[in-house]
Amino acid sequence: MSNDKQNTENPLENVQSHDWNKERLEQLKQLMPDLFTNDGKLNVSELKKVVDPKSVNETERYEFRWFGKSNAKREAFTPTDATLVYDEDKSVNPTES
């Protein structure tokens, strides 16, 4: 009778669902690795800066700083329609680049 009990166990008891959260975090890590710490954990304060940079009131401490650093980081990811064009007359070394 104990053999019958083993055969009639619910096969769904050991089934685990797909970890969608882990998959999304891995995708985010591929797209924006700078949002993650060295330990691989999501840095929520950096994520907030990306999502809504104007709402973040930050104080930068214990890091390489200069006036306008936060603004420069925001501006770096601002969309633009400008195009860089090579200007041979103003080039310092046009034959070596």
Q: What are the domain boundaries of the chain? A: 19-56
pLDDT(1) > 70: no
pLDDT(56) > 70: no
HSE of 46, CA atoms in CB hemisphere, 13 A: 12
17 falls in which pLDDT band (50, 70, 90)? confident
Q: How confident is the model over 12-18, as a mean pLDDT?
A: 71
Mean pLDDT of the chain, nearest integer = 79
pLDDT(3) > 70: no
HSE of 45, CA atoms in CB hemisphere, 13 A: 6
What pTM value is reported for the model? 0.41
10 falls in which pLDDT band (50, 70, 90)? low
Identity of the amino acid at 59: T
Q: How confident is the model over 26-33, as a mean pLDDT?
A: 90
